[in-house]
Amino acid sequence: MMTSMDTVKTLAEILRAKHWQMAAAESCTGGLVCAALTELPGSSDWFERGFITYSNEAKADSLGVPVELIESVGAVSEQVAQAMAKGAQLNAGVNAAISITGIAGPSGGSAEKPVGTVCFAWAIQNDAGENRVLSKTMHFVGDRQAIREQACQYVLSELAKLLED
């Protein structure tokens, strides 16, 4: 399995080759993704900005996620993750954006959405202007930090795979 830094290096190479930049919208990871990305020297070539939108209000204010959407499906949902990724992509003016929203614990879970439930989205606009938004829900195990680290690694490795296609 690739380490987080290996994943970031791979992602950087892909983004540089495409002359693209990316943005990140994080909730439960609280900046871990942005920290991982900026650990690599020269990341300003391909990493534009990050949004840490922990509260529902921040998701609405900073990323344009409709309050009605959050109220109807919950902040931890693929629909909200998609809206977060699209908002980050639009606000940052980048080709690629990722988002993460989830329940890292130890509390906050429910029968429908237990601790470790994390929703992801990837918004990718190709050079022809075609945009695709993909999302997925994962369930991670471990303590709060382990869940957050797994979410960080997952979102970046999946972005690298999507951009290679």
Residue for token pair 């509390």: 107
Say what the pLDDT of residue 4 is: 84
Give the integer Cα–Cα distance in Å for 126 and 146. Answer: 33
User: For the segment 31-40, what is each residue's pLDDT rounded down to a tens digit?
Assistant: 999 999 999 9
Q: Is the pTM above the cut of 0.95?
A: yes
Cα-Cα end-to-end distance for the chain? 20
Map out the domains of the chain with their CATH numbers.
4-164 (3.90.950.20)
Q: Are 64 and 80 in contact (CB under 8 A)?
A: no
Residue type, 130: E
